[in-house]
Structure formats: structure tokens, C-alpha cells
Structure 1
């Protein structure tokens, strides 16, 4: 079938599928692969991931509404409908390419890819435009982690300000002069155990508890000038959100090798600088860190809400307005039960070990049997239920066994998690690729079918 013959009528009926791994250009990728998968996303059974064939109650309808909204935002990125996300987004991306961001190495890809993925994640997490634009340019002047300035701090600020707006540029500037490791980890996060954080969040929700960060903020040194910087609490909360997105996109198993993070605590205590890039491709042990950052972000947001309410009640509205970035609203991301759960390092390690065991062939060079894989992957999902990929591996195994009802449930859960995270844990394939594969499996589960040959599996996406 030629490309010119592929019509909306063809793809909206769900008749044709293309493999996510097909190596084509980005524009062709959107047209040939993602578009057939996402156009049929409108089916109510996909959006109503929690229904399982039953009439939804009010809670399920609310969940479905949130799920549908995330799906609509994700679809804009998957279809490359950039102007609908932000009318200036194509210009932003063109500018980043023009200054060489596509030529700069960055962790598991290029700097451009990382910046765009951070932006996408922030938009999927409902961040306001100024924060999302800051995410797109977050290391533009280099920062305390990355010596990678694509705009000179002394001459480039006006250029960036004219491009993304004053508020977004000011956020970017602050992001690049604050020692984030010291502020976020040494001065705040590492002072609390998991139990302390969860207990503090519980007390705050009840209107009790002592704030770990005062409203006026904390003082750090400007990493370039050495001058004192007073970073207000609301800006610290924005930095927590940006750090969560930043780390979730770029971290995988290679960083565990670099920092000797075998215990999953990510305290940067190791220094194995000779670890070969890109490592063995396994997922990283970064979810406990993200979960701790998320709970602290939740705490900061509760404290900020209570503080603003008190200031307004006591007639000190002007004091609120004078605080830096006081009018920028952010919310806790949908991941990890709206950032109210901490994943233990032990659970993450065990989940990774179980997940990774599923891939190597057995002693005879054949895939492991379903009898081995099903309990392995179910336990991986139990140990860390907030990751999409174990659910999706289990989906394929269940489809092969003809257990279509459970396969449909697992595929729905995997898709829901991919949309909530806006990124992926197993970075050997792209986020879009995982969504495409999950979509193929979901439709096969609903159709109660699965190929029984190697050619059949590899042809799932061919037309």
C-alpha cells in the first residue's frame, strides 16, 4: 500500500498498523505509525480504562475525564501538532536547532531531544506556559549540573527574553544560577527520611505540621558571582517540579553505574567515572528519588496554599504580590497517586531485577515460558505498580496464552501510566513507541486474537 493511498478512512477504522521500530523520518513516523494508532484512541473502551465492561460510577467517570484530557494533550505531541500546544513552539524549536542543540550530546540522546521531552512532560503535567517554556530552555545558560550554555548569559538573555517572554526567561535565569544540588537535596530533601516526609504530608493535609521551608525561602550562593540569593518557597516548589521532570527524562541504568547507585538511594556517593556509555540499556533506579521529590513538592504546595490563604485573610495581599513568581500556579503531577506515595529503594531494585530477568533467552536460546514469565512480571508490577512497562510485558505474555481479558486490563493500565508519566522507564524504546506497542496489544486483546508465528508478530504493524 503506497503512502498516498493511506486515507483517514483507512486509519480511523483501525485496519492498518505499523511497527513503532520502523526507521523513517519524523514526519513519516507521525503519518505512518503514530497516526493510525492514535486516531482510534477515541473508542470509549480505551478512554474508560477503569470500567472493565461495567457501568462507571461517579468516581470512575471523573477518572475517565482526567484520562481523556491527558490523552488529548498527548495526542497533540504524538501528531506533531505543535502550534496547537503553543503557537510559538515551532519557533522555539527552530531556534534551539539553529543554536546547535541538536548537535550537543546529552545522556541518552541529544540536548535538543532532552529539552523537548522536558517541555512535553511539563505540559502533560498541566504546568503553565511560563514553566513549560522554562523547561524547554532550562539549561540554556548552563547550570549547576550541566556545563552546556547555548546562549551566553551576559549577551543572550535579551534574545531569550524576546523569544519566550519575560517570566519564562527570568525562571530560566534563576534555574541556571541556583546551586540546585545544594538547595533541593542537601538543604531540604536529604534532611528527611521517607517516613518523615509521609508523616509531614499527612499532618499538613490536616492543617498541622511545621513547614520545612519558610515562606520567604532559603539563601544560597549564586554559582557565578558568589552573591547571596534568597529563593522564595514558591520558586523552590517550581524547581522541585522541574527537577522531577528533568531527572525522569534523562536517567537510566548508566547513571546507576556512574554513581554506584546499586542501593537505589541516589545520594551521589559513588564515582565510577569510567563506566562505559550507554551501559547495557536497563532502566534506572530513579523512581524512589522522583517519589521523594514528589512528596516534598506536595508538602511545599500545601504550605504555599495555607500561607496564601492566611495572607489574604489577614489583608496582606500586597506582600503576596511582591514575592518573586508568586502568581505562577503549579499542581502536583498525577504520578504516584498525585505525589503521595514513596517507592522504597528495595522495592524498585526488586522490580527491576524481576523485569530484567524476562528478556534473556533460556539455556536453549529460546524465550522463557509463560509459566516463568507471568509470575515474574506480576511480582514486578506488585513491587512497583506505578511503572507501565512491566504491565505491558505481561500483556504480551497473556495475549500469547489467550488470556485476553487480563491482557486487556494490563494494557489499559500500562497506557494509563504512560500518559500519567509523560515519559517512560525503559528507555530502549521511545515513549511514543511504547504507546504504539501498547495500542496494538490493546486492540488485539479486545479482538481476542494474537499471532502465532514470528512473521505474524513482526507484521502486526505492517500494511
Structure 2
């Protein structure tokens, strides 16, 4: 049995992911094995973090950023993003008053400065109060539309895009208060965009149904409105209602990067006023492939309905109910929310069981593609690596038109070539 090695559309994505799957960290960045040892020595693997340990979360955030196309500087920022503690968590495995020189020596001046900035700003105020909560879905769509199909610095009807556009972050950036000293901190637009990107990676790694219970996120809008502090951890581990939120962040990120590019083109490459360090302006910030390259917002009603359909389908145990009821539920979930992998993979499994191998291969391929694009999983009951390996097993078996017809046969599955 062999995975599609000729003209496989996923081959390049799999090759990019393979060093993470094999824990070949040195090939990703020669510094990475040593940095992971330092994080462990600092106790990151002993600190609790939402669905595991702080160490696992930091490494997962690094992986997500790296597989999204981030530079080493941005990925290393992600690896240490909360290590001074920040406005959300108390996880200071490096003391910001005495350890900054230590961290600079480990990851470089630029990455350490990003970690420091990230850990002193009120992120809830920045991302939510000053941006997302003030913007409707229509605002975000209109903001993106004003750039789509228009080159930065070009003219439309005699006016430059600078004259016509609505700025989501002003040229001078956003002024916030240092969370510990109360001093003003000027955050230029490019760092606002970077911190939105980091928040996307940060959140998709850690959010699942338990946080929905904590904040009573029943409508899926994720406005942090509830205070159900008694919600028992980890709950049912139901997939979280965070996809609408992340899709909105993605469109916002796209807009901010367009704003920045347009303004820089119009200023002929001049540095933006207020940059704490000139080199921040040259940071390369990728647009993740998720949500159609961060151009689509998933309506909360579709997010919520598809999640319920998926969860209902997962709880059928009898074969006749799986075929008769789970399949329509999963097909509907995939149609109204085509952006996550797991419904496709469960549907592929059922199609393999039923001998519908062409359908199974198509669903498995789509599921694997989505897992590779996200670099993490939506259904946190299993790891990203576990979902990805199962998706590849499904894909290979569907391609070979074979599936075991016994319990022991299913147990014997596992080899991916």
C-alpha cells in the first residue's frame, strides 16, 4: 500500500510537515532542540495549560506559525510568546525584570523584543475591545473588499487607494497602557497585525468546549460574556465554537496587512512613524491558508449547527444508524462548514466501511489537506498528529480500495508509507 507519490497534490504540504511529525527539530531550526530543552528545564512541561502543558502549547504554537509560513523570528516569538507572563496568563518562566538578556541570547534581539511587547500589552483590549468588538462582519467584508483586486498605491477614479480606504488601524498605530506600569505603549500597525496572527495560532491550539462552558459561549460569537468559573475541566472535550472568531481575526489580519502594504507603497518604502525599532517594519507576516486564505467569515449559525451535527454523528454506534443517520449529518456539516477536517475524515471512514472508496478517498484527501493547512486540529480529543496519521491511513486504504471487515482488522491498521 502506498500513499500517492506521483502527482500528489498534498506531497509538498506533507513534506513541510514531516520534520514535525518525526520530531526532527534540528532540521527545522538548528537552535530548536536546545531551546526546547531550556523550556523543559524552566518547568514549562510541568505547568498546566488548558488542554495539556505549557510546553506542549508553546511547541504547538511554534509549529502552527512555522507551517503557516512564518519566518524563524516570528516562529521563535511564538515559541516563547507568554514566557514573561501576559495579560491572560500567569506563566512567567522567564522573569521580565532580570531575564530579558538571557532570552535575547537564546532567540535574538528582534524575537525577544516581540515577546516583551506581547507580554506588556492588554491583548483583550487590543484584539477585542479596540478592534473585533467594534467591527461587524459587514465592516470586515467591506474592509477587505476595498483592497481585493487593487494593487497597493494604485489609483481608482483619480484617487489613490490611500484616499479612498477606511483605516482599521491609524497610521500612527494604537496606543495602549503597559499592563504593569501604566505607561503608554505605541503599537504600530504591523505589530498589531502580527499580534492578531499570534492570537489566531494561540487560540486555535487551546480552545475547545471547556472554554465555551466557562464563558457561556452558547451563541458561538465568543464575546467572553459569561463567568461560569465552576465549569469542570476538561468537560466532554467537545469541539469548540471558536471558528467564527478565528475567521473574523483572519479577515482582520488580511485587512491590516493590506493597509500596511498600501501605505508603505505610497510612502515609497519610508518607515512608519512610531515603530519602536525600524526592523519591525520588515517583519514578514504570512496570511494562513485557512478560511480560503483568510478571506471568508464563517457565520456563527453555520459554525454552531455544523458542530452539533458532527457531535451527534460521532455518537452513533450501530452500523445501520451510522449509515442511515450519521452520513447525512456529516455531509451537511461539511457543506455548511467546509473549513475543518474532522467531519471529512469521519465521513471517509464510513465510506471505506461501505466500500465507497472513490468517495472515501476524496473526503480523506480533503480532511488531510485541511489538517495540513491548519497545522492543528479542531476536535481536541485526539492530537493533530493522531488525526493526520488516521487521515493518511484512510486515504491510502481508499486508494487501494481495501478496508478490514473485522474488529481485529481495524485494530491492525496503522502503517503509513
**TM-score strictly above 0.5:** yes
Which residue number in structure 1 is paired with residue 406 of structure 2?
Answer: 453
Which residue number in structure 1 is paired with residue 80 of structure 2?
Answer: 137
Which residue number in structure 1 is paired with residue 128 of structure 2?
Answer: 185
- What do residues 148-167 of structure 1 show as CA deviations (whole Å, max 9, x unaligned)? 11011111111111001100
- Is 1:250 matched with 2:193? no
- What do residues 398-447 of structure 1 show as CA deviations (whole Å, max 9, x unaligned)? 11111110110000000000000000000101101011101111111011
Following superposition, the deviation at residue 367 of structure 1 comes to 7.2
Which residue number in structure 2 is paired with residue 64 of structure 1?
Answer: none
- Output the CA distance in 1 between the equivalents of 2:400 and 2:388: 18
Following superposition, the deviation at residue 326 of structure 1 comes to 0.6
- Output the CA distance in 2 between the equivalents of 1:166 and 1:421: 29
**Residues 179-328 of structure 1 aligned to structure 2 (within 5 Å):** 179-205=122-148, 206=150, 207=161, 208-312=164-268, 316=270, 323=278, 325-328=280-283
Contact (CA 8 Å) 1:360, 1:367: kept in 2 or not?
A: no
Contact (CA 8 Å) 1:232, 1:324: kept in 2 or not?
A: no
- Output the CA distance in 2 between the equivalents of 1:303 and 1:373: 45
Which residue number in structure 1 is paired with residue 392 of structure 2?
Answer: 439
Which residue number in structure 2 is paired with residue 173 of structure 1?
Answer: 116
Which residue number in structure 2 is paired with residue 10 of structure 1?
Answer: none
Contact (CA 8 Å) 1:218, 1:230: kept in 2 or not?
A: yes
- Output the CA distance in 2 between the equivalents of 1:405 and 1:123: 33
Local SS of the residue matching 1:44 = coil
**Structure 2 length-normalised TM:** 0.93
- Is 1:96 matched with 2:52? no
- Output the CA distance in 1 between the equivalents of 2:6 and 2:369: 14
> Equivalent of 1:340, from 295, 298, 317?
295
Contact (CA 8 Å) 2:244, 2:298: kept in 1 or not?
A: yes
- Is 1:84 matched with 2:39? no
Following superposition, the deviation at residue 379 of structure 1 comes to 0.2
Contact (CA 8 Å) 1:361, 1:368: kept in 2 or not?
A: yes
- Is 1:44 matched with 2:26? no
- Output the CA distance in 2 between the equivalents of 1:101 and 1:318: 37
Which residue number in structure 2 is paired with residue 382 of structure 1?
Answer: 335
- Output the CA distance in 2 between the equivalents of 1:391 and 1:93: 34
Following superposition, the deviation at residue 281 of structure 1 comes to 1.1
Following superposition, the deviation at residue 142 of structure 1 comes to 0.2
- What do residues 333-388 of structure 1 show as CA deviations (whole Å, max 9, x unaligned)? 111100000011110110110000012246xx767331211111000001110110
Following superposition, the deviation at residue 42 of structure 1 comes to 6.3
Which residue number in structure 2 is paired with residue 356 of structure 1?
Answer: 311
- Is 1:117 matched with 2:31? no
- Output the CA distance in 2 between the equivalents of 1:409 and 1:276: 38
- Is 1:411 matched with 2:354? no
Following superposition, the deviation at residue 460 of structure 1 comes to 1.2
- What do residues 29-59 of structure 1 show as CA deviations (whole Å, max 9, x unaligned)? xxxxxxxxxxx656125x32xxxxxxxxxxx
Structure 1, unmatched stretches of 5+, are 1-13, 15-39, 49-66
- Output the CA distance in 1 between the equivalents of 2:3 and 2:131: 42
Local SS of the residue matching 1:368 = helix
Local SS of the residue matching 1:96 = helix
Following superposition, the deviation at residue 195 of structure 1 comes to 1.2
- Output the CA distance in 1 between the equivalents of 2:231 and 2:381: 18
Which residue number in structure 1 is paired with residue 154 of structure 2?
Answer: none
- Output the CA distance in 2 between the equivalents of 1:342 and 1:376: 22
Which residue number in structure 2 is paired with residue 329 of structure 1?
Answer: 284
**Structure 1 length-normalised TM:** 0.84
- Output the CA distance in 1 between the equivalents of 2:232 and 2:272: 54
Q: Per the alignment, do residues 441 and 284 of structure 1 end up closer, same or farther by CA in structure 2, a change over 3 Å counting?
A: same
Local SS of the residue matching 2:265 = helix
- Output the CA distance in 2 between the equivalents of 1:162 and 1:369: 56
Following superposition, the deviation at residue 318 of structure 1 comes to 8.6
- Output the CA distance in 1 between the equivalents of 2:305 and 2:68: 28
**Aligned pair count?**
402
- Output the CA distance in 1 between the equivalents of 2:6 and 2:307: 33
Contact (CA 8 Å) 1:287, 1:348: kept in 2 or not?
A: yes
Structure 1 segments of 4 or more deviating over 3 A?
316-324
Q: Which is worse superposed, 210-219 or 95-104?
A: 210-219
- What do residues 280-304 of structure 1 show as CA deviations (whole Å, max 9, x unaligned)? 0110000000000000000000001
Contact (CA 8 Å) 1:358, 1:368: kept in 2 or not?
A: no
Structure 2, unmatched stretches of 5+, are 151-160
Contact (CA 8 Å) 1:308, 1:320: kept in 2 or not?
A: no
- Output the CA distance in 2 between the equivalents of 1:272 and 1:319: 43
